[in-house]
Amino acid sequence: MADYKSIQLTNFEVDKKVLDIVNNCLSQQPDPRPFVEINSIGYVFYFHTLDIKLLQRNIEMLTAHDLFSANNPSSSRKAGELLQKIYEEVSKIGSYGIRSGKRQYVNFDIERKVRNRKAKEQNRSQYYYAQDNNFSKISNQLPPEMTNQIFCGDSLEVLKKIPDNSIDLIFTSPPYNFGLEYERQDDAHKWDLYFEKLFAIFDECIRVLKFGGRIAVNIQPLFSDYIPSHHLISNFFISRRMIWKGEILWEKNNYNCKYTAWGSWKSPSNPYLKYTWEFIEIFAKGTLKKSGDPKNADITSDEFKEWVVAKWSIAPERKMKEFGHPAMFPEKLAERVIKLFSFVGDIVLDPFNGVGTTTAVAQKLGRKFIGIDISQEYCDIAQKRLKNTLL
């Protein structure tokens, strides 16, 4: 019975006539035909492919009171009850394939033969924009003195001290200026210089990332200057042969922002579009599949099913005044990114660590970490959060 799946049926006592009626109905099913046999503890239902609608019609026919009046109606109803039991047990099985409207329960997960499958899979896995990359597959160890540390300094300079291919996940939210306090930002600063510095830092991030590692960037368009920063950043990573893994919408449910600016009121002249969400752009280095021990995956089945739907409804951080930082993302956001895209024991880097949300959550979740920020004040707060996380 290697080509059949089986279900043991108990608490049934039927005679040969009833069994013949059941198997006669099952003979109408697609090949290979299902059937019921007697064994020492009851009956066994053997099946491969089932037409569920046909099975339901058979049940309805056999259990109807006004049929088979001249042909032992009790046998027909008993056969219908046995088929109903079979239907209920089969309905508990969640794994099957669908072919021509029929459920296939055996060998449904064996891929159909495709001519030149390996060559086609190899071509598809190259992601045309990521071809001809020169990424090394050899990972390097992060020095112990750099592990689980907060570094205060220019991200570009600190990153240069980190070995190639030594980081598993980078999660960050770049500020809209470097080396300046937020309240002293100049709205007229030159965006070309900003992106030149940002992309230089991201080049270093790509270098230190392991083959198969991921980088997730939380960003939103710069509305006031009409700069689609999330698209510019994505285009940069694609130009560096990184593989686009996806885009998550972080729905902040901040509906008050809708009323802060209208643009041209009730006019097509220049309506001002507002967003209640931000973006998380995710890229992978060299391959979409990250190596790791499955035992070190700490995401639950419910979390996985919810989080792979790429719209996350998470309230904004409410403690920014407490931490003295004007643009924090909440710990819940970092938790989802870290658990979905890294294993326990992996190394997580945030080159714009701010007051240390990424590093605090990484430590809490059993990851190693590196945080970098140019503000000594923010680094001190990040260090304090790490100590509180250990309490």
Do residue 301 and residue 166 come from a single domain?
yes
pLDDT, one tens digit per residue, over 257-295 is 555 556 778 888 888 787 888 999 999 999 999 999 999
Q: Supply the pLDDT for residue 315.
A: 84
Residue 267 structure tokens: 């006019």
Same domain for 91 and 198, yes or no, is: no
On whether both 209 and 308 belong to a single domain, the answer is: yes
The kind and range of the H/E element at 350 are: strand 347-350
Peptide bond before residue 32 is cis, with ω within 30 degrees of 0: yes
Give the DSSP letter of residue 146: G
**Tens digit of pLDDT for each residue in 2-59?**
588 888 887 777 788 888 998 999 999 998 999 998 887 888 999 999 999 999 999 8
Please give the average per-residue pLDDT across 227-256, as a whole number: 90
Considering only CA atoms, which of 232, 208, 327 is closest in space to residue 281?
A: 232
Q: Does the residue 109 lie in any domain?
A: no
Is 210 found in the same domain as 94? no
Check whether residue 332 and residue 375 sit in a common domain.
yes
Q: What is the pLDDT of residue 255?
A: 58
Is 373 a member of any domain?
yes
Per-residue pLDDT, averaged over 97-104, amounts to: 86
CA 242 to chain centre: 18
Whether 43 and 146 share a structural domain: no
Answer yes or no: do 50 and 139 share one domain. Answer: no
What's the predicted TM-score (pTM) here? 0.66
Tally the domains of the chain. Answer: 2
- Say what the pLDDT of residue 264 is: 77
Residues 52 and 151 in one domain: no
The whole-angstrom separation of Cα 370 and Cα 353 is 9
Sign of CA dihedral 132, 137, 141, 146: positive
| Tokens linked to 373 | 């920020």
Across the range 88-97, mean pLDDT stands at 87
Tokens, residue 122: 């190899």
Indicate if 190 and 81 belong to the same structural domain: no
CA distance 35 to 59: 15
Whole-number CA gyration radius for the chain:
30
Residue 41 domain boundaries: 5-104
User: To which H or E segment does residue 97 belong?
Assistant: strand 97-99
Q: Let me know if residue 116 belongs to a domain.
A: no
In 66-174, alpha helices (H): 73-91, 117-124, 155-159
Q: Is there a domain that residue 55 lies in? A: yes
Count of residues in the chain? 391
Q: Give domain status of residue 121, yes or no.
A: no
Residue of higher predicted confidence among 321 and 113: 321
Strands 167-172 and 347-350: parallel
Do both 140 and 259 map to the same domain?
Answer: yes
